[in-house]
Amino acid sequence: MRRFRVNVNGNEYDITVEEIDASAAKSAPAPKAAPKSAAPAGGEAVKSPMPGTILKVNVTNGAAVKKGQVLMILEAMKMENEIMCPCDGKITSLTVAQGASVESGAVLCTIG
């Protein structure tokens, strides 16, 4: 085991990393990334990347949306941030309204 101190965006973290030999590294399966062009069967939650206030909601419940479409505008630290649609689908659940305060990681809407 090796210990490291890592600084990420001004926050320091102490981490421990286990060293493995080359043969063990080759036997571990590589993770496969699934394409994100369509919404998964259970729906995809669109979460707030940071705390802020919803300035504008551009979609309604049941609306068809396309990947890259601006779903809403989130104001954080006096800046307007566009919340983009991660996949094609339909808004199955809209959980915020204009003027709502949200925390980081809060579900804004679900796309199914």
Question: Of 1, 102, 109, which is closest to residue 45 (Cα–Cα)?
Answer: 109
> What's the pLDDT score for residue 52?
94
> What's the pLDDT score for residue 74?
95
Q: Show pLDDT as tens, one digit a residue, over the chain (112 residues).
A: 788 888 887 888 888 888 777 666 566 555 444 344 344 456 899 999 999 999 999 999 999 999 999 999 999 988 999 999 999 999 999 999 999 999 999 999 999 8
> What's the pLDDT score for residue 46?
94
- Here the CATH number for the domain that contains residue 74 is 2.40.50.100
Q: Is residue 74 part of a domain?
A: yes
Q: Is residue 62 part of a domain?
A: yes
79-111 b/e (C-beta count within 10 Å ≥ 16 → b): eebebebbbbbebeebebeeebebeeeeebbbb
Q: Is residue 61 part of a domain?
A: yes
Q: Is residue 37 part of a domain?
A: no
Confirm if 69 and 91 have CB atoms less than 8 A apart.
no
Question: Of 90, 39, 40, which is closest to residue 64 (Cα–Cα)?
Answer: 90
Query: What is the domain count for the chain?
Result: 1
Q: Is residue 29 part of a domain?
A: no
pTM for this prediction? 0.61
Q: Which two tokens stand for residue 36?
A: 């994100």
Q: Is residue 81 part of a domain?
A: yes
Q: Is residue 7 part of a domain?
A: no
- CA 1 to mean position of chain CA atoms: 31
Give the domain extent around 75. 44-111
